[in-house]
Amino acid sequence: MDKDIGAALQERVAAAHAAGTPLCIVGGNSKAFLVDRTPNGEALGVAAHRGIVDYQPAELVISARAGTPLSDIGAVLADHRQMLPFEPPHYGETATLGGTIACALSGPRRPYAGAARDFVLGVTIINGCGDVLRFGGQVMKNVAGFDMSRLMAGAFGTLGVMLEISLKVLPRPACEVTLAQERGAADAIDVMNSWAGRSLPLSATCYDGHRLFVRLSGTETAVESARNHIGGETIKEAGSFWENIREQRHAFFAGELPLWRLSLPPAAPRLDLPGKWLLEWGGAQRWLKSDEESAVVRNAAMDAGGHATLFRGGEGNAERLHPLPPALLVIHRRLKQAIDPKGILNPGRLFV
């Protein structure tokens, strides 16, 4: 199964650069829904470029080819009682490491452990000229050169074809317990942020409109002590609960209404928008099922200090990502130009 097709990919990109042919990078194709503007270009399949290249549990570092299935990585780490700390959503069995980093997706543990980009230590990419470049490395601390590795996280393949990625990993907690409490929405936002300001072993929070769920992770004694402090009913099927939240299989996510993701300062008060809400990340990630107009949702998010993404559903031609202010848009275009001068990598996917 493991295969290194890096040289073939490099040749394809170099040829595309020479001919000015646009390329559409495809990994496991599990997240195509995230950005609806599918680039018009020849498909460049990277899923065959797979395999774990290096894994040193005591160094807390794993390096794998971009096409490696996320599930393979999870399984190998689990064998050594380690994990990807940002608990990435898969959104499908074919999810690859490269796609996860390209989309910068993080799951329930994100506010307490860090985001996908926080754990990227190094990347090897093919830039838009067909050059194979390596940035960062396999060490925790590295400030030589610009941080091109983290720049790849969330660039949706527009700044390079990722070949290999090195990530920091962490030990799995010895013990995890999930508690549930009945709360009102304002109260839930308030208490999640109070907890986060104290020395408590939090690892996930979610409010479904009635109940606040909180996951505690650490040594058994620490979790027990925090459980007594926080209180509430202990949830039995906690593993599948958090997996359903992460993979958006929870009942909240069903139905045809457009799904908005609002990224806000965690303690931001409840927003006065019509629809159903599900809060995660201590209040920093809020899901809204609503057919309210885009401009209204975006303005409300901006007024609260954040932004809104149309995550699923909505009109086919709708703008999904939150637009950039003009000064930043200019920088984005120049940066794209600097790395992919002919604009052949996933053209049009982001900020045309």
> What is the footprint of other proteins within residues 261-290 (CB under 8 A)?
263-267, 281, 284-285
What SS3 class is residue 42? strand
| Span 7-36, contacts to other proteins by CB under 8 A | none
Amino acid at 84: L
Q: Are strands 61-65 and 52-56 parallel, antiparallel or unpaired?
A: antiparallel
Question: Two tokens at 40?
Answer: 């018009």
Judged by CB under 8 A, the stretch of 36-44, 51-59, 240-248, 251-259 that binds other proteins is 51-59
CA 155 – CA 285 distance, rounded (Å): 20
Among residues 257 and 335, whose Cβ is nearest to other proteins? 335
CA of residue 155 relative to chain centroid, distance: 11
Q: Candidates 10, 29, 193, 244: give the one binding other proteins (CB under 8 A).
A: 193
- Residue 133 contacts residue 125 (beta carbons within 8 Å): yes
Planar angle of CA 93, 206, 36, nearest 5 degrees = 45
| Span 130-149, contacts to other proteins by CB under 8 A | 131, 133-135, 137-148
Q: Candidates 57, 74, 92, 275: give the one binding other proteins (CB under 8 A).
A: 57
Among residues 135 and 260, whose Cβ is nearest to other proteins? 135
- Residue 281 contacts residue 309 (beta carbons within 8 Å): no
Q: Should residue 306 be labelled a site residue for other proteins when binding is judged by CB under 8 A? A: yes
Nearest by Cα to 256 from 208, 290, 292, 285: 290
What SS3 class is residue 209? coil
Among residues 137 and 209, whose Cβ is nearest to other proteins? 137
Query: What's the first-to-final CA gap in the chain, in angstroms?
Result: 37
Among residues 222 and 257, whose Cβ is nearest to other proteins? 222
CA 141 – CA 163 distance, rounded (Å): 22
Q: Candidates 9, 13, 64, 151: give the one binding other proteins (CB under 8 A).
A: 151
Q: Candidates 34, 95, 159, 167: give the one binding other proteins (CB under 8 A).
A: 159
Question: Two tokens at 289?
Answer: 């099922």
Q: Candidates 38, 171, 249, 255: give the one binding other proteins (CB under 8 A).
A: 171
Which residues are bridge partners to 24 per DSSP? 43
Phi/psi of residue 311, each to 5°? Answer: -85, -45
| Span 230-249, contacts to other proteins by CB under 8 A | none
Q: Should residue 61 be labelled a site residue for other proteins when binding is judged by CB under 8 A? A: yes
Among residues 48 and 338, whose Cβ is nearest to other proteins? 338
- Residue 17 contacts residue 129 (beta carbons within 8 Å): yes
Among residues 31 and 322, whose Cβ is nearest to other proteins? 322
Among residues 137 and 313, whose Cβ is nearest to other proteins? 137
- Residue 235 contacts residue 178 (beta carbons within 8 Å): yes
Q: Candidates 118, 243, 247, 292: give the one binding other proteins (CB under 8 A).
A: 118
- Residue 5 contacts residue 13 (beta carbons within 8 Å): no
The number of beta carbons lying within 10 Å of the beta carbon of residue 188 is 26
Number of residues in contact with other proteins, rule: CB under 8 A? 83
Q: Candidates 1, 20, 40, 199: give the one binding other proteins (CB under 8 A).
A: 199
Write each residue from 324 to 343 as x if it is in contact with other proteins (CB under 8 A), else as -, in one continuous string: xx-xx--xx-xx-xxx----
> How far apart are CB 117 and other proteins at their closest, in Å?
6
Which residues are bridge partners to 177 per DSSP? 216
Judged by CB under 8 A, the stretch of 9-17, 196-204, 230-238, 270-278 that binds other proteins is 196-204
Q: Should residue 221 be labelled a site residue for other proteins when binding is judged by CB under 8 A? A: yes
Q: Are strands 23-26 and 42-45 parallel, antiparallel or unpaired?
A: parallel
Among residues 34 and 47, whose Cβ is nearest to other proteins? 34
Write each residue from 77 to 116 as x if it is in contact with other proteins (CB under 8 A), else as -, in one continuous string: ----x----------------------x-----xx--xx-
Amino acid at 301: A
Q: Should residue 317 be labelled a site residue for other proteins when binding is judged by CB under 8 A? A: no
